[in-house]
Each structure stands twice: as C-alpha cells, then as structure tokens.
C-alpha cells in the first residue's frame, strides 16, 4: 500500500478532530434572545457521540478479523457489544442520570456514603481505563505498520500525542460534537468501501476463493461455555465502562437518557453490519489473510486487495481514516474520564491537576502498549469487559436496584471480582495461549456471579451499615425529575 495514503489519512483525521474540538462551539450568539431549549444536546447528537466513543479498535478492526478467523462464533462479539446497551437502557441509564453523580466513584460515594468505597472504585475505574486504552494503541500500531511500513511505536506515540494535545489544550470542550462526528466518519469509512467492493464483485462475477462455512485456519468451533462466558462479559461489561456512562450526563433528564440509549442501539446495530460484511467477504475472497496472521488488518487490507489501483488507494485512505477515528475517539473519551477521576481523587480537582492527570492517563497505557504485543484486538477488549463486569457492574446494578447494598459489601465484591478476574488473566498469560483451559481464558461466567454473591452476602452480614439516607436516595434515583425549564 502507498505509505502516503496512511499518513495523509491520519493527519486529516487528527486535524478534523482538533478543528471540531476547538471550533465546534465558537459560533457565538450576539443577540440576547437565546433559548436554552435550542441548545440542549438532542438525543440524536448524544447517541451519535456515544456511538463514536464506544466503537473502538476492537469494533472497527477486531470484529472483522475475528469473523474471518472463526466465523459465526465471532458474531457473538457484535451481538454482545450492542446488547450491552439494552442492559444499560433497562437498568442503568435513567437512574444514573438522575443520581446527579458525575463519575462512577462519585456515584458509589453518594450511594454508599463511604470514602473507602469511593477509593476502591476509583482504583478499579483507572485500571479498567488503562487496560482499555492499551488495545486502542495496539490497533494504532497495527494500522501504521500495515499502511505505511513505519515501526509500530510511531502509531502509538502519534495517537497518544494527538489525544494529549487536544485534551490538555482544551480541545475537548465540545466533546459531544467531536465524538458524534467520529461516529459518522467511522460508519462512512466502513460503508463506502464495502459497498464498492460488493458492487464490484457482483458485476465481475469473481469466483469465491474459499468456502465461507469453513474456518480458514481450521480452528475448532467454540463450545457453549465459551459463548455464555463471552456474552456475560460483554452484556455486563458495557454497564461499567467509565467513558460511556459519562455521556449520559449530557442528557437533560432521565427520560432523554433512555431515548438516547434506544437510538444508540439502532446506530450500533447498523454499524456492526459492516464489520460482519468485511469478515464474510474476507472469508470468501481473501482467506490468505487469516493464514498469514494478519486477520486484524483485514479491514485495512481488503479494499486495496479487492479493488486495487487509484480507487483502491482512495478507499484504503478512507478506511485508515476511520480506523484512526476509532483509536482517537475511544482513547480521548477514556483519557478525559480517567483524568477526571484521577485529578479529583489525587490532585484536588484543579485545572492544572486535570492536565497532569490527562498526561498520566495517556502515558501509562502507552508504556504498557509499547512493552506488549498485539494479538487479537476483539479478544483483548473482551477481557477488559470481563474485568468491568466482575467489578463495576455489580456495584452499579446492586447500588441502583437493591436497598441492602453496604459499603463493606461493595468493596468486598469489587475486590473479589477484581482478584478472580485479574488472577485468571495472569494465569492465562503464564500458561500461554495453548495451555489455558477455556474457563481461565474466558473467566466472566464464574467471576461475575462470584462478585455478585460476595457483594450480597457481605452486605447482608453488615446490614447495619446501610446508609440512613437510603430512602431519599432511592427516591431520587427512581422517580422522574422536574423537567428543565427549557420552554416557555
């Protein structure tokens, strides 16, 4: 592939992101007759922003790669990623918006009336965030290596540099518009090339190179345990993602938070059709990519391979731009929310503190990413979901829906879930890919119930620690709020 294409695409996306961030809101109103109603974030905008922030490297590159490798088994990933929002819609979106807490640690502190629970949650949130940024950087490394031939670290450093610059220089002030733009960019970047390829294939009548029903690497199909465990991780993991939850505060009230989630479900469903199409096309027409271990790069390579020439270069440029939009949007969303947590809990919440925290939140994962190697993006992100599902998700669900949760129970449950899931991840890395039994490779099916169980049991044992303000708090979480004074 022409290296200029990759670099040009990356620069264009970075500039567009920065421009949207800095100038998205510079349109001042000079007249006094402004109406606040016309200025609230509409659910459509906010839903696009959530989509933009949520669709990470795993969705953009990983899902297609995994479908190329293991076919229908991999379809559970997009299903799980999307269905997680159904859980969010049903159980979390509106009450969390009404709580008035802005971050997950804020929520636990307000709900459990405990500084200790807050600290533990902060620690978990920061760990989740870091672990989630790492695959984004691996994706960036892969994209840069494939498209330009430059060393892998260039991609990671470039993404971190752009994110740090925009966040620290205040470019995330109109974050909603930046992220909404990224969603539509990602959608276009996948849709246009695949439609082009499909039309071309249909008109040429190119014969299939392989049978789509057979795994190109001959990998065995997943058993029921793997599927269930994966689904548990993805369904419950979405509930606790720090950068996703923050978006809901942009909604003016709980009802519009629900409406936003509904639109997000639609947007994600549409989006995930595309990686699936890429995966299927890859299985049928380019199975060689799987055998050469380049499955994650399928989306990046397919347009060039299938179309070729000038048109191929242009389509590749579009896909690369979309990929970088995915890395940048998810990373910057995570960095902003992590920086919020770190600066509030460690640095006193000042503006300077926020900048330092942003730097820390971006540089630590850069260090981890540069020391490790990327293998399977969708799988790595799946593990982060498992970790979130075993730690933050139980606190949120029980905190919102069960009066009996106590601070001791919450801490015990989070530590149990974190240690079990983290232990499984460590054991997996010690044993290596081949030696890991599937119950260790996909731990969510037992770590999530364990965390819930410990949380409930310890809470029952420490019943006298239920905060006295519980009734007021629960009322606030579950009753509709007064509408904003947005219309006359």
Partner 1 sequence: MPDSPLFTAAAVAVIAMAIAVVVAVGLQVLRSFRELGTDAEQATYKTLHAASRAGQHLRTGLNPAGAAKASRQLRSLLGSDALAITDTAGVLAWDGAGEDLKPVLMELAAGVLDGGHTAVIPAGEVQELLHGTGAVAARPEVERAAVIAPIRAGTRVVGVVAAFAPSAGAGLVRATSEVADWVAAQVELAELDASRTLLMEAEVRALRAQISPHFIYNSLNAIASFINTDPVRARELVVEFADFTRYSFRRHGDFTTLAEELRCIDRYLLLERARFGDRVQVSLRIAPEVLSTVIPFLSLQPLVENAVRHGLEAKEGPGHISITANDSGAYAEVTIEDDGVGMDPEQLRSVLAGHSDGDHVGLRNVDTRLRQVYGEDNGLVIETAPGEGTLITMRVPKSQPRHDA
Q: Taking CB under 8 A as the criterion, which residues in 364-383 touch partner 1?
A: 368-369, 371-376, 379-380, 382-383
Name which of 303 and 340 has its Cβ closer to partner 1: 340
- Shortest distance, position 377 Cβ to partner 1, whole Å: 9
- Shortest distance, position 341 Cβ to partner 1, whole Å: 8
Name which of 194 and 231 has its Cβ closer to partner 1: 231
The binder of partner 1 chosen from 295, 428, 452, 455 (CB under 8 A): 428
- Number of residues binding to partner 1, judged by CB under 8 A: 86
Please give the residues from 159 up to 218 whose contact with partner 1 meets the rule CB under 8 A.
Answer: 170, 172-176
**Cβ distance 400 to 95 under 8 Å?**
yes
* Residue 222 region by backbone torsions, left for phi larger than 0, else alpha for psi between -120 and 50, else beta: beta
Question: Which residue, chain included where needed, has tokens 């540099």?
Answer: 161
Name which of 25 and 198 has its Cβ closer to partner 1: 25
Residues for the chain: how many in total? 488
485 binds partner 1, rule: CB under 8 A: yes
- Shortest distance, position 27 Cβ to partner 1, whole Å: 8
CA–CA separation, 98 and 463 (whole Å): 26
13 binds partner 1, rule: CB under 8 A: no
CA–CA separation, 244 and 246 (whole Å): 6
429 binds partner 1, rule: CB under 8 A: yes
**Cβ distance 443 to 424 under 8 Å?**
yes
- Strands (DSSP E) contained in 273-405 are none
Angle between helix 76-87 and 224-237 (nearest 10): 40
**Cβ distance 443 to 232 under 8 Å?**
no
Name which of 104 and 289 has its Cβ closer to partner 1: 104
Token pair listed for 153: 């670290």
Please give the residues from 231 up to 260 whose contact with partner 1 meets the rule CB under 8 A.
Answer: 249-253
- Shortest distance, position 255 Cβ to partner 1, whole Å: 13
Name which of 230 and 458 has its Cβ closer to partner 1: 230
**Cβ distance 52 to 183 under 8 Å?**
yes
Please give the residues from 85 up to 144 whose contact with partner 1 meets the rule CB under 8 A.
Answer: 99-103, 106-107, 109-110, 127, 130-131, 134-135, 138
- Shortest distance, position 110 Cβ to partner 1, whole Å: 3
- CB-based contacts of 336, cutoff 8 Å, min separation 6: 167, 172, 175, 243, 246, 358
- Shortest distance, position 427 Cβ to partner 1, whole Å: 9
Name which of 10 and 130 has its Cβ closer to partner 1: 130
Name which of 274 and 424 has its Cβ closer to partner 1: 424
476 binds partner 1, rule: CB under 8 A: yes
Closest to 121 measured CA to CA, from 103, 141, 134, 137: 103
- Shortest distance, position 375 Cβ to partner 1, whole Å: 5
- Shortest distance, position 316 Cβ to partner 1, whole Å: 26
Name which of 352 and 460 has its Cβ closer to partner 1: 352
Please give the residues from 430 up to 469 whose contact with partner 1 meets the rule CB under 8 A.
Answer: 430-433, 436, 440-441, 464
Question: Which residue, chain included where needed, has tokens 């969603």?
Answer: 183
CA–CA separation, 471 and 403 (whole Å): 8
Piece of the chain touching partner 1 by CB under 8 A; list 32-40, 296-304, 310-318, 391-399: 32-40
Question: Which residue, chain included where needed, has tokens 């949120």?
Answer: 396
Name which of 106 and 238 has its Cβ closer to partner 1: 106
Tell me, rounded to whole angstroms, the distance of Cα 386 from its chain centroid.
13
Name which of 9 and 381 has its Cβ closer to partner 1: 381
- Shortest distance, position 115 Cβ to partner 1, whole Å: 14
- Cα–Cα distance list, 246 to 40, 136, 241, 306 (Å): 16, 19, 9, 40
486 binds partner 1, rule: CB under 8 A: yes
Name which of 316 and 388 has its Cβ closer to partner 1: 388
**Cβ distance 111 to 99 under 8 Å?**
yes
Please, what sign has the CA dihedral across residues 297, 366, 182, 70?
A: positive
- Shortest distance, position 390 Cβ to partner 1, whole Å: 12
**Cβ distance 250 to 176 under 8 Å?**
yes
224 binds partner 1, rule: CB under 8 A: no
67 binds partner 1, rule: CB under 8 A: no
- Cα–Cα distance list, 397 to 15, 197, 389 (Å): 40, 44, 10
Name which of 180 and 197 has its Cβ closer to partner 1: 180
Please give the residues from 328 up to 347 whose contact with partner 1 meets the rule CB under 8 A.
Answer: 336, 339-340, 343-344
Please give the residues from 281 up to 320 whose contact with partner 1 meets the rule CB under 8 A.
Answer: none
Question: Which residue, chain included where needed, has tokens 């390829």?
Answer: 197
CA–CA separation, 53 and 271 (whole Å): 13
Please give the residues from 392 up to 421 whose contact with partner 1 meets the rule CB under 8 A.
Answer: 419
- Shortest distance, position 459 Cβ to partner 1, whole Å: 16
CA–CA separation, 152 and 156 (whole Å): 7
Name which of 10 and 354 has its Cβ closer to partner 1: 354
DSSP state of 61: I
Please give the residues from 35 up to 54 whose contact with partner 1 meets the rule CB under 8 A.
Answer: 36, 39-41
End-to-end CA distance of the chain: 58
């Amino acid at each position: 592939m022409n290296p200029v294409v990759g670099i040009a695409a990356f620069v264009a996306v970075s500039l567009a992101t920065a421009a949207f961030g800095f100038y998205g809101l510079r349109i001042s109103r000079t007249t006094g007759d402004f109406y606040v109603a016309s200025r609230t974030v509409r659910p459509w905008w906010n839903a696009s922003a959530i989509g933009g922030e949520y669709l990470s490297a795993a969705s953009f590159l990983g899902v297609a790669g995994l479908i190329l490798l293991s076919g229908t088994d991999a379809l559970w990933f997009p299903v799980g990623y999307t269905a997680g929002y159904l859980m969010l819609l049903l159980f979390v979106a509106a009450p969390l918006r009404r709580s008035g807490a802005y971050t997950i640690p804020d929520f636990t502190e307000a709900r459990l009336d405990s500084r200790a629970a807050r600290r533990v949650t902060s620690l978990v949130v920061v760990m989740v965030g870091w672990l989630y940024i790492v695959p984004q950087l691996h994706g960036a490394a892969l994209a840069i290596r494939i498209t330009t031939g430059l060393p892998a670290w260039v991609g990671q450093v470039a993404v971190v540099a752009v994110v740090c610059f925009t966040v620290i220089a205040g470019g995330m002030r109109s974050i909603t518009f930046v992220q909404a733009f990224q969603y539509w960019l990602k959608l276009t970047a996948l849709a246009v090339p695949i439609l082009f390829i499909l039309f071309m294939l249909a008109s040429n009548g190119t014969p299939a190179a392989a049978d789509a029903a057979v795994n190109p690497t001959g990998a065995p199909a997943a058993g029921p345990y793997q599927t269930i465990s994966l689904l548990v991780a993805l369904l419950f993991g979405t509930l606790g993602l720090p950068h996703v939850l923050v978006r809901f505060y942009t909604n003016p009230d709980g009802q519009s938070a629900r409406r936003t989630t509904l639109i997000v479900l639609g947007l994600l469903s549409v989006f995930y059709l595309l990686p699936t199409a890429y995966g299927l096309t890859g299985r049928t027409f380019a199975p060689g990519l799987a055998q050469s271990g380049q499955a994650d790069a399928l989306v990046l390579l397919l347009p060039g391979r299938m179309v070729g020439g000038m048109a191929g270069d242009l389509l590749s440029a579009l896909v690369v731009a979309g990929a970088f939009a995915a890395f940048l949007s998810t990373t910057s969303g995570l960095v902003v929310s992590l920086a919020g947590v770190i600066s509030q809990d460690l640095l006193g919440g000042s503006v300077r503190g926020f900048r330092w925290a942003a730097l820390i939140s971006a540089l630590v994962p850069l260090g981890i990413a540069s020391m490790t190697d990327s293998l399977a993006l969708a799988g790595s992100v799946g593990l982060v979901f498992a970790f979130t599902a075993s730690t933050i998700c139980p606190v949120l669900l029980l905190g919102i829906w069960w009066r009996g949760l106590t601070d001791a129970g919450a801490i015990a449950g989070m530590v149990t879930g974190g240690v079990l899931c983290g232990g499984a991840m460590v054991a997996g890395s010690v044993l290596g890919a081949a030696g890991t039994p599937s119950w260790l490779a996909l731990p969510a099916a037992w770590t999530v119930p364990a965390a819930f169980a410990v949380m409930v049991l310890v809470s029952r044992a420490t019943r006298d620690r239920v905060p006295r303000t519980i009734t007021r708090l629960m009322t606030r979480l579950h009753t509709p709020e007064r509408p904003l004074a947005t219309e006359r």
